């Protein structure tokens, strides 16, 4: 990313703005390519951030005896 590391939400907002600009089709080719490349960077950053957060997520489950135990979140897609 750039000098300052973006918060995930900021990166998503910027990515949404880039998509909107590209969908309008009003930018010159050079400008479109430049913001497209920025969009790719943001998309990769968001993907890595989500992967990292998914590994940190845990859930609390109650077993049959009423005991609460903590387990790591296991994505159904994994």
Tens digit of each residue's pLDDT (9 = 90 or more) over 60-76? 777 778 788 777 776 66
In the chain, the percentage of residues whose pLDDT exceeds 90 is: 56
Structural domain range at position 12: 8-72
Q: What is the CATH number of the domain that holds 31?
A: 1.10.287
Whether residue 54 lies inside any domain: the answer is: yes
Q: Tally the domains of the chain.
A: 1
Report d(CA 5, CA 28) in Å as an integer. Answer: 28
User: What's the confidence (pLDDT) of residue 54?
Assistant: 79
Whether residue 30 lies inside any domain: the answer is: yes
Phi-psi region of 71 (alpha: psi -120 to 50; beta: other; left: phi over 0): beta
Whether residue 57 lies inside any domain: the answer is: yes
The verdict on pTM exceeding 0.75 is no
- Taking Cα atoms as reference points, which of 1, 8, 5 lies closest to residue 53? 8
φ/ψ (deg, to 5) at 60: -100, 130
Whether residue 3 lies inside any domain: the answer is: no
Whether residue 45 lies inside any domain: the answer is: yes
């Amino acid at each position: 990313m750039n000098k300052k590391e973006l918060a995930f939400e900021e990166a998503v907002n910027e990515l949404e703005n880039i998509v909107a600009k590209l969908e309008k089709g009003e930018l010159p080719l050079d400008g479109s390519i430049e913001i497209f490349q920025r969009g790719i960077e943001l998309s990769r950053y968001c993907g890595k951030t989500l992967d990292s957060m998914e590994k940190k997520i845990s859930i609390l489950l109650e077993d049959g005896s009423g005991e609460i135990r903590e387990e790591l979140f296991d994505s159904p897609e994994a």
